[in-house]
Amino acid sequence: MAELVRKYVVMALAAEGPFDLSDPDAPFVLKPWKDPAALRALIAYRDNCYPELSRELDVWIRTIAAGPVVRGDVGKLNEPHVRAKAVKKRAPRGRAAAKHVRKPIHRKKRKR
């Protein structure tokens, strides 16, 4: 797997520290083996990245899906809230739908 590589060393801190929301280089760690929400995030990432990485992530996702169910603390909290399937967008209704549909123009014929 040339595209999926380890780039960071992640260690648990002795005490919790604040997360700097404004730091563009701050990594955010997800554990897809232990958290079903993290697995869903990984699937969304796979669906939206370049093809080579997408293929490697797909192998990893299939490996996780075929393996045993393992839940960490956050995974146990997230599990009841994870939707079984992604919700499809509904077709627009009302005035929004009318903008997309052209109504035929009925003209009266002129008398000669």
Confidence of residue 17 (pLDDT cuts 50, 70, 90): confident
**Among 45, 50, 11, 43, which residue's Cα sits nearest to residue 27?**
11
The sign one gets for the Cα dihedral 33, 45, 7, 16 is negative
Question: Which range of residues forms the domain containing residue 57?
Answer: 48-78
Could you report the per-residue pLDDT of 41-66, keeping only the tens digit for each?
999 999 999 999 999 999 999 999 99
Please check whether residue 23 lies inside any domain of the structure: no
Please check whether residue 3 lies inside any domain of the structure: no
Please check whether residue 25 lies inside any domain of the structure: no
Helices (H), the chain: 36-46, 51-66, 73-78, 95-100
Q: Is the pTM of this model over 0.85?
A: no
Q: Is 64 in contact with 39 (CB distance < 8 Å)?
A: yes
Please check whether residue 29 lies inside any domain of the structure: no
Number of domains in the chain: 1
Please check whether residue 65 lies inside any domain of the structure: yes
Please check whether residue 73 lies inside any domain of the structure: yes
Confidence of residue 89 (pLDDT cuts 50, 70, 90): very low
Please check whether residue 54 lies inside any domain of the structure: yes
